[in-house]
Structure 1
Amino acid sequence: MNFKEVLLIVNPISGDIDKQRIINKVKEEVQRRNADFHLYRTTGENDIEKIRKFLDVHEIGRVLVAGGDGTINLVAETIRKYDLPMGIIPAGSANGLALNLELPDELNQQVKIAMGDNFINYDILSLNDTICLHMSDLGINAELIKNYENSNFRGKLGYLIQSIPTLIKSGYPFEFEIQSKGEDREAQAALLGIANANKYGTGANVNPIGRPDDGLFEILIFKRISLGEVLKTLRNETNLDPEFLEIIQTKSAKVICKKPVSFQIDGEYIGEETEIKISILPEKLKIAVPA
């Protein structure tokens, strides 16, 4: 695919990866293709508006993003109505979306795929008008992310350090009402997930039936905490105990919490919520993936 201009969007504070090395490698590849290279570093202040203004005055043919799931989510929201293909360079603390897309670990290969011509037309979920590409949940994992964001440790070590105090302090099980496919049902859960992919960033395959391009999403009801079942998900086993996990596949739903529950979207803590409206947006996100 030929394009005149490429925009690389980098989150300078995500993960612990050398961003300058990524910038240099992408710039080298773009120039090799005789295209113009542009760089935008996110600041957390009006990034969407600033990037859209840039897109309106340039002939960008490919947007690349170097960051974690939260940064990818921000870029997806920014470009979803521009019909622009996106390439991903995983560079976050937990790169769950990249893991699900089976992107390689080696930078040269990542750049080659991100600039390539093989794409998936990826579903975009809307959760209370905020988009979700990967995994969202209510409950104990969102509490863990909240504690992680408030700590001084980063990377997977930071999540590990926060896991025990989160378990001790959590008020689970939480009580939910799930409205979907014309039915209402009650559920008690330690965690209620909303999934557009198979795996968390840890590699846990919690949603073996999910596909990100099938026009459906899954509600995951984790009824209890079980180390044995968690280990199964890490080994990619699909025969999970129904007393541990129940999966509802649907096109739209509403989740009502009996009391405010911690909520996260694509690894970003949102706050405590009592109601989540879920649907699939009509747009698809064109993401470069391995052939």
Structure 2
Amino acid sequence: MTEFSRVLMVVNPISGGREKSGLLEEVKEILETRGLESHTFFTSGEGDKQALQQEIASFDPQRIISMGGDGTIKLIAEILQDNSIPVGVFPAGSANGLAENLDLPTEVPALVDVCLGNKFIDLDTIIINGELCLHISDIGLNAALIKNYHEGNIRGKLGYLIQSIPTLIQSDFPFQFEIEINGKTISRKAVLIAIANAKKYGTGANINPNGRFDDGKFEILIFKEFNIPQILETFKENVELNEDFLEIIPGVEAKIRSYKNIPFQIDGEYRGDIKEVVARIAPVKMKIAVP
């Protein structure tokens, strides 16, 4: 039985290149039939953080539904901090990385049931170069792909696919890295290094088979080579990746350095070409509704 009455829907109207008015109306009808009062906040890309803070303060929601991609969830997390308002994830972005890891249903009524339910995880958060990360950050080949994707005109998974070939042609990999973690410093050549708080990318690739959202640590994933058979392996249900392809190191703090500027992304958003990444588990957790 629902034990709350006010639901705030935070909607990115342009995420994933998808028009959401029909979807939004369907969700609002379900909320209304359950006797719930709802407000809708639309992100605009300008002043969203302050505007959403004001909306939360004035409406005082007891549940929040995020309708967008990873960026929308991240915006909510940055505002809530230690606030314990549960958040339901309604995937409607280009590559819904966080949602991909939650095993959410695809039908709208069932998805709303999860968003309004009483089963949660306390999601770990990571501070990476001073910015909050909920899902996966990386430096190297995948970040270069995301950079090219955002510079292109086609959204969704097709957009990523179209950009994959020019990214491979243009990138000067492998890269040389130095990694400080667990009191040790190691040197590695790699095509990319990821800081993972989850198992999968939004594409469904299972790159961190033993990863967990709520274990108080992240994994440093060192992809040593561009190996197509091993990449295809990540899309299988039972993943078996060899150590020549991927090295995994768990930790709570890490520093990654390169010898030249390399593309870098956090939760699917390109953050420039950089030489150093500093990551640590943050004290703040986010309460996420799960099936």
TM-score (norm 2): 0.96
Partner of 2:60: 59
Alignment map for 1:1-291 (pairs within 5 Å): 1-290=2-291
The Cα of 1:104 is off from its aligned counterpart by 1.4
Of residues 20-29 and 150-159 in structure 1, the stretch that sits farther from structure 2 once superposed is 20-29
- The Cα offsets for residues 209-267 of structure 1, whole Å up to 9 and x where unpaired, read as 11010001000000000011011111133321101000001111111121111111111
| TM superposition outliers: structure 1 runs of 4+ over 6 Å | none
Q: Distance in 1 between matches of 2:232 and 2:283?
A: 36
Counterpart residue identity of residue 169, structure 1: Q
Asked whether the 8 Å contact 1:5–1:60 carries over to 2, the reply is yes
Q: Distance in 2 between matches of 1:178 and 1:22?
A: 45
Q: Distance in 1 between matches of 2:149 and 2:17?
A: 15
Asked whether the 8 Å contact 1:125–1:280 carries over to 2, the reply is yes
Q: Distance in 1 between matches of 2:4 and 2:46?
A: 29
The Cα of 1:25 is off from its aligned counterpart by 2.3
Of residues 11-20 and 135-144 in structure 1, the stretch that sits farther from structure 2 once superposed is 11-20
Of residues 28-37 and 198-207 in structure 1, the stretch that sits farther from structure 2 once superposed is 28-37
TM-score (norm 1): 0.96
The Cα of 1:33 is off from its aligned counterpart by 2.9
Counterpart residue identity of residue 167, structure 1: L
The Cα of 1:202 is off from its aligned counterpart by 1.3
**Structure 2 unmatched ranges of 5 or more:** none
Q: Distance in 1 between matches of 2:197 and 2:237?
A: 17
The Cα of 1:106 is off from its aligned counterpart by 1.4
Counterpart residue identity of residue 182, structure 1: G
Kindly report the root-mean-square deviation, in angstroms, between the aligned alpha carbons of the 2 structures.
1.2
Q: Distance in 1 between matches of 2:85 and 2:50?
A: 16
**Structure 1 unmatched ranges of 5 or more:** none
Asked whether the 8 Å contact 2:30–2:109 carries over to 1, the reply is no
The Cα of 1:178 is off from its aligned counterpart by 0.7
Asked whether the 8 Å contact 2:27–2:108 carries over to 1, the reply is no
- The Cα offsets for residues 105-163 of structure 1, whole Å up to 9 and x where unpaired, read as 11121111111111111101110121111111000110111101011111111111110
Aligned CA distance change for structure 1 residues 119 and 56 (closer, same or farther; 3 Å): same
Counterpart residue identity of residue 195, structure 1: A
Of residues 188-197 and 251-260 in structure 1, the stretch that sits farther from structure 2 once superposed is 251-260
The Cα of 1:175 is off from its aligned counterpart by 1.3
The Cα of 1:5 is off from its aligned counterpart by 1.5
Tell me the SS of whatever aligns to 1:15: helix
